[in-house]
Amino acid sequence: MAPNDPLAHAAQSLCSAVDPQTSSVAASSAWAQVAASFHDAQPPASNRCLETAAYTVVSNLLAYHAAHPDSPVLPTAGAGTACQPQLAGINPATDVLTGTEMRLLGRFVEVSAVLVDGINVQVRKVSENRFVFMAPPAHAGPATVRVLGPGGVIIAGSAQFAYLVPTSAALVPTSVPEVTATATDMPTSPDPQKPDPATTPPDPASQDATQPPAAPADAPQDATQPPAAPPAAPPAAQQGEAQPPAAQQGAAPQGAAPQNRAP
C-alpha cells in the first residue's frame, strides 16, 4: 500500500488504537482517525490480497468498537498469512555482474536461501519483506532464480536476470585461422659479419685471369699498337685562287739597308 493511501492511514491508526501501551485519551483519538481514514478508502481489487486483508480487518474492528466502545480490543496472532508467499521478479534484471546486489520482488515472510540456476546462494533480510543476495559467478547470459522458504520449501514463482556480456569477449573470434610462413615469405636481414657487395671494392685476386688488367690513365701507349695519326695538314691552295703578289724587283727587302745611288 502507498503511504498516502487512506487504507494505509486507517491501518496505522488502528495499530495505535489497540496498543495496550496507548492511553485511553490517545486511544479514543486514534479510533476517530481510523474511522475518518477508512471512510475515504475504496475497497481494493480482489487480486490485491494484502489490501483486501487489511480492509477486512479494519472494517471488522471498527464495527466491534462501535458496538462496544468501552471494551478494549486485544490483538492476537492469526493463523497463516494474508497473502501466499510468491517470487514475482528480480531487481536489477539486466547487465548483472558477479557480486551485484540483487533484490527479491514479491511477497515473503521468511526466505532461507536463493537458487541461481540450481546453485544455493546465501540471502540476507534487510527489513520486512525485503531480501537481497549477491549474484554468483556464472556464464554470460540469462539465469533463473528460485526461492526457498523455511524448511527448504520452494516458494511459488520464479524470475530471471541476465549477466552482462563483456565487450572484449564479444569481439574475440571463436577460432583463429592458422598461418604458415615459408622461407620465401620471410624477410631477410643483412648479416653484419658479411661485407656488402655494393660498397666493397673488388678483390684483384678474384678477377678473371683471361681479362687484361685495365691500364692506368697515365700509362705509355702499347708499342704494338699503331701510332696515332698526326693532325691533318691544311689543304693546298686551290687552282685559280689569288696568290700574294711577288716582291717588286729592286725593292728592298724588309729590314735591309738602303743602297746609295749615284747622283
Q: Go through 133-151 and write b for each residue having 16 or more CB atoms within 10 A of its CB, e for each that does not.
A: bebeeeeeeebebbbbbee
Q: Which of 46-55, 177-186, 204-213, 226-235 has the highest mean pLDDT?
A: 46-55
Domain ends where: 147, 168, 189? 168
Does residue 54 sit in the same domain as residue 101? no
Mean pLDDT of 234-248: 46
Instruction: Please check whether residue 40 lies inside any domain of the structure.
Output: yes
pLDDT given at position 50 = 86
Instruction: Please check whether residue 189 lies inside any domain of the structure.
Output: no
117-121, 177-181, 237-241: least confident range: 237-241
pLDDT given at position 170 = 42
Instruction: Please check whether residue 210 lies inside any domain of the structure.
Output: no
Output DSSP code: residue 255: T
Residue type, 112: S
Residue 125, domain CATH: 2.60.40.10
Whether 111 has a pLDDT exceeding 90, the answer reads: yes
**Which of 158 and 196 is assigned the larger pLDDT?**
158
Whether 172 has a pLDDT exceeding 50, the answer reads: no
pLDDT band at 214 (very low <50, low <70, confident <90, very high): low
Reading the block at residue 91, the C-alpha cell is 531487481
Domain ends where: 122, 142, 168? 168
DSSP codes, 104-161: EEEE-S---EEEETTEEE-EEEEETTEEEEEPPP--SSEEEEEEE-GGGPBPB--EEE
pLDDT given at position 164 = 85
pLDDT digits (tens, 9 = 90+) for 24-73: 899 999 999 999 999 999 999 988 888 999 999 999 999 999 999 988 88
Whether 178 has a pLDDT exceeding 80, the answer reads: no
pLDDT given at position 37 = 95
Instruction: Please check whether residue 173 lies inside any domain of the structure.
Output: no
pLDDT given at position 77 = 77
Domain ends where: 168, 195, 218? 168
Does residue 60 sit in the same domain as residue 93? no
pLDDT given at position 226 = 53
Instruction: Please check whether residue 164 lies inside any domain of the structure.
Output: yes
**Which of 195 and 121 is assigned the larger pLDDT?**
121
Q: CA nearest 90: which of 52, 60, 51, 116?
A: 116
Q: Could you list the residue range(s) of the whole structural domain that residue 139 is in?
A: 86-168
Does residue 92 sit in the same domain as residue 164? yes
pLDDT band at 212 (very low <50, low <70, confident <90, very high): low
pLDDT digits (tens, 9 = 90+) for 130-166: 999 999 987 777 899 999 998 899 999 999 999 987 6
Instruction: Please check whether residue 214 lies inside any domain of the structure.
Output: no
Instruction: Please check whether residue 245 lies inside any domain of the structure.
Output: no
Whether 194 has a pLDDT exceeding 70, the answer reads: no
**Number of domains observed in the structure of the chain:** 2
Instruction: Please check whether residue 10 lies inside any domain of the structure.
Output: yes
- 3-state percent helix, strand, coil for the chain, nearest multiple of 5: 20, 15, 60
Reading the block at residue 112, the C-alpha cell is 532461507
Does residue 161 sit in the same domain as residue 92? yes
Q: What is the mean pLDDT of the chain?
A: 75
Whether 175 has a pLDDT exceeding 60, the answer reads: no
